[in-house]
Structure 1
Amino acid sequence: MTRIGFLACQGTLPGSPVRRADAHEHDCQVEALRAGFDPAGLELVELDWRAPLEAFAGLPLVLLGTVWDYQDHEAAFLTRLEQLAALGITVCNPANMVRWNIDKSYLRDLAAAGAPAIPTLWPDDPTGTDIAAAFDHFGCDDLVIKRRVGAGAEGQLRFTRETAPPADWRYGSRAMVQPFLPEIVADGETSFLFVDGQFSHAVRKTAAPGDYRIQSIYGGQERAVMPPPEDIAAAKSVVEAVPGETPLYARVDMIRQEGALAVMEVELIEPYLYPRQGPRLGEMLAQAVLRRLG
């Protein structure tokens, strides 16, 4: 058996005293991958990404898995990926792709390449004055602020003109500001999953009543859907616009805005891959890993 690393963190590893409320998604993903990896002669090994480098000895390839705290340790995480690559380990997805994808300003690159985008402002540390100006810039009464280096809606805020913060308020980190899209509540968000550039499956995610966040930790629900060919083609064109090599895995999150799909995010680092809705996911990833190993 060839050992393949699955990088996780203390918030997701089984037995951790600080395990996250949504860590069952880690278990589900590992179980699905093992179902495809074992018949292919691949042994999946769960590892904390902060483990001593000696723990990675003998691993030809590592998957970034459920490293769901990287957003608070950006520099250390990127350094660790480069250290693993220096040891001759294939990192999926690779450090250069992660560096590009880790700050959501990559969406500007995709928009320049023709991907359908949501109007966005990119302040480094927005103030209450910036928020007031954003309402006028977008001509809207409802805004969402997100961390540019973030995951799982952590740090996400929603303001209306009536609840806007005072002028001297500061967000405290690099941000992206967008008009709130009511479609996220009415229709939800669709995630398109790709392995080595090939479509695997799709999931429609909807928020719990009274919320707009679609992540399971906030009560969001997901169900398998089969999008029409033109929607799959639109999502695939976004993956093809990612600079560099074809990602081993990619999750394209899209929302229908005024009848057309627009890109919310392209997840290339540690996305949950919704294995319950993708019965061939483990097998497809196993074959893609074998191709990477040559």
Structure 2
Amino acid sequence: MPTVAIVTCDALPELDPDEARLLPALRESGVEAVPAVWSDPRVDWSEFDLSVIRCPWDYPERRDEFLAWSRRVPRLANPAPVLEWNTDKRYLVDLAAAGVPVVPTTRLPPGGGIALPSVGEWVLKPAVGAGSRNAGRYVMDDPEQNRQAHEHVHRLHRGGATVLAQPYQPDVDVNGEKALMFLGGTYSHAIRKGAMLDGPYRGMESLYKSERITATTATDAERDLAARALAAVPTDGVPLLYGRVDLVESAVGTVVLEVEVAEPSLFLGWDPPAAHRVAAAITARLAG
């Protein structure tokens, strides 16, 4: 029986409850699945036939360490070069250059001046981040929120982070974001998430914000756009085992908010057969 490591973090040693659905699905497929903490020095990754990244959600504060670990794992999905590309949201520049419509994004690296807009509603977040940690939404016309926005950027810069500034897309307050999941290169299912950010950043006590999620369907146009975005991921010829593309509606149409091919939630509980699709994709990868 092949053995697969389902990669997680210290805070979730038994996996996130949604990701834990993979374990029985894999066992039904004849694969022994074992949760394994990426930063645990006792784990011998060479013993696994495949290691599958699922919820190592403490990596933003330890990205260099996480990437160094990923390079040492002999059989990793998705592979280390993809993780390096995807764990810094500067990848949005690459997607735009490939002709994929994305939310307009301005990078504010530390060491430079802070040129924030003076009007409109904007999202500020670190280029390396997950789970909406250190992300806030600011009305720049409001003097107090404008001040808080500058303080937010200063704080992130002091920690060495590059900040991303994106115009807030007001349709999110009405229709939320739509996330499309792909498994083994094939569209699987979709969910809708309610608005995540309701104002300036106020700190967080957990790895990620709670989300309001409902199952939904994706249109052919949305599937095509998501597939285009995933096709632009530099994989060096290694097919992606999984991927998620988050879409929002903007004044110019549907645009990509994020492409998640490092450690995305796949929202398996909102489409009961999805865990078995992941298991099938893993089984196919083992056979290949």
- TM-score tier by shorter-chain length is 0.7 to 0.9
The SS at the match of 1:164 is: helix
Q: Deviations over 1:180-212 (max 9, x none)?
A: 221221210000000111000000001379569
Distance 2:175 2:281 in 1: 33
Q: Deviations over 1:109-150 (max 9, x none)?
A: 0111111111111111388x62xx4315xxx42211111000
* Paired-residue identity, %: 28
Change (3 A) 1:216 1:66: closer
Matches within 5 A, 1:105-184: 105-125=90-110, 130=114, 133-135=115-117, 140-161=119-140, 162=142, 163-165=145-147, 169=151, 170=154, 171-172=156-157, 173-184=161-172
Change (3 A) 1:238 1:209: closer
Distance 2:132 2:259 in 1: 14
Matched, 1:239 2:230: yes
Q: 2:133·2:208 contact (CA, 8 Å) conserved in 1?
A: no
Matched, 1:186 2:174: yes
Q: Deviations over 1:68-92 (max 9, x none)?
A: 101110111011111112xxxx101
Q: Deviations over 1:26-50 (max 9, x none)?
A: 122122x123211211111001101
Matches within 5 A, 1:196-207: 196-207=184-195
Q: 2:106·2:165 contact (CA, 8 Å) conserved in 1?
A: yes
Q: 1:126·1:175 contact (CA, 8 Å) conserved in 2?
A: no
The residue that corresponds to 2:17 in the other structure is 27
TM-score by length of 1: 0.85
The SS at the match of 1:150 is: coil
Q: Which amino acid aligns with 2:92?
A: L
The SS at the match of 1:63 is: strand
The residue that corresponds to 2:244 in the other structure is 251
Q: Which amino acid aligns with 2:37?
A: D
Distance 1:150 1:292 in 2: 28
Distance 2:42 2:122 in 1: 43
Distance 1:73 1:167 in 2: 25
Q: Which amino acid aligns with 1:150?
A: G
Matched, 1:70 2:49: no
Q: 2:70·2:80 contact (CA, 8 Å) conserved in 1?
A: yes
Q: Deviations over 1:262-286 (max 9, x none)?
A: 1111111111110011222222222
Q: Which amino acid aligns with 2:63?
A: E
Shift of 1:159: 2.3
Q: Deviations over 1:229-256 (max 9, x none)?
A: 1211111111111112321000101101
TM-score by length of 2: 0.86
Shift of 1:168: 7.7
The SS at the match of 1:283 is: helix
Q: 1:207·1:219 contact (CA, 8 Å) conserved in 2?
A: no
The residue that corresponds to 1:17 in the other structure is none
Give the aligned CA root-mean-square deviation in angstroms.
2.5
Distance 1:74 1:43 in 2: 29
